Amino acid sequence: MPKLPVHFFNEDVNYVLKNKTVIRSWINDTIISEGYKLEELNFILCSDKYLLEMNKQYLNHDTYTDVITFDNSDIEETIIGDIFISVERIQENAKTFGSSVINELCRVMIHGTLHLLGYGDKGKAAKTLMTAKEDTYLATLSIPVKTKPL
């Protein structure tokens, strides 16, 4: 099987992501099931500080966030993008929601991917649909994703 064009990078953090092959396939399967083609998708794991600066620079928001998604495709139904994720926000969210770090990370990965697939999260109806889609796709992930921290 050819290597899928899903890449993982660290920017000013040292986070070791396990199960990369499974996660690549899961992301690709999600994209295909939504009727899109995966061209290239980069996940960049970074610090709060790094993502805050990006949020200020590109979105004019002076707030911490867990994820920022950039759609780099000019072709309809083709995914080319960069998804920046704050490892610190993920760890904090996992504690807040009583989840594991890997579960929260995968939720945010699929959340960013869903943005590239055209789903929004502004407004109650859009947020409800986004959460339902996240839950649906998380249920298809074939790595042990724990709901409670060990």
End-to-end CA distance of the chain: 34
Neighbours of 31 (CB within 10 A): 23
Q: Is 7 annotated as a binding residue?
A: no
Is 135 known as a binding-site position? Answer: no
Is 111 part of any known ligand binding site? Answer: yes
CB 83 within 8 A of CB 113: yes
Kindly give, in sequence order, each residue whose CB lies less than 8 Å from that of residue 133, ignoring residues fewer than 6 positions away: 110, 114, 119
Nearest to 77 by CA among 40, 120, 112, 118: 118
* Binding-site residue set: 111, 115, 121
* Binding-site residue set for Zn(2+): 111, 115, 121
